[in-house]
Amino acid sequence: MDIEYNEGKLDENICRLINKGFTEYDKAFDLSPNYKEFSFIAKGNGEVAGILTGKCLHDEVKVSDLIVTEKFRKNGIGSKLLKSVEAYFSDKNYTSISLTTYDFQAPKFYEKCGFELEFVRENKKNPKLTKYFFVKYL
């Protein structure tokens, strides 16, 4: 058996195989994966100002990435993107929104946005890479 390393997007057939496998496994436990990827894009004056990407699985919404371009920072765009996620998914049978961030990124920002700190994974070699795990219950 050979094992290959892959970077970037997976082939569509591989994605179907993964989704089929998880769906069948979930059904064995009387669950529905309802997996989907999503994004919210903030635009100002025709320019992309910020992007939030994520995934839904079972009853959880996971924020994967949140970036506001430097030109548009300090204008509340990150908060608006998070509020958009919450508003969109709050009435769709999801119980929580979760996300992670590093120490050098935005732990205080997520707390200000109403996320609860669940735990911290300390990085002893590089404290800037200490990871914070947040949740917001819907």
Per-residue pLDDT tens digits for 55-85: 999 999 999 999 999 999 999 999 999 999 9
Q: CA 63, CA 48: separation in Å to the nearest integer?
A: 19
Q: CA 60, CA 46: separation in Å to the nearest integer?
A: 32
Q: What is the CATH number of domain 12-137?
A: 3.40.630.30
DSSP character for 129? G
Per-residue pLDDT tens digits for 5-45: 999 989 999 989 988 998 899 999 999 878 889 999 999 88
Q: CA 138, CA 93: separation in Å to the nearest integer?
A: 9
Distances (CA, A) of 20 to 31, 62, 77, 103: 13, 21, 37, 37
DSSP character for 77? H
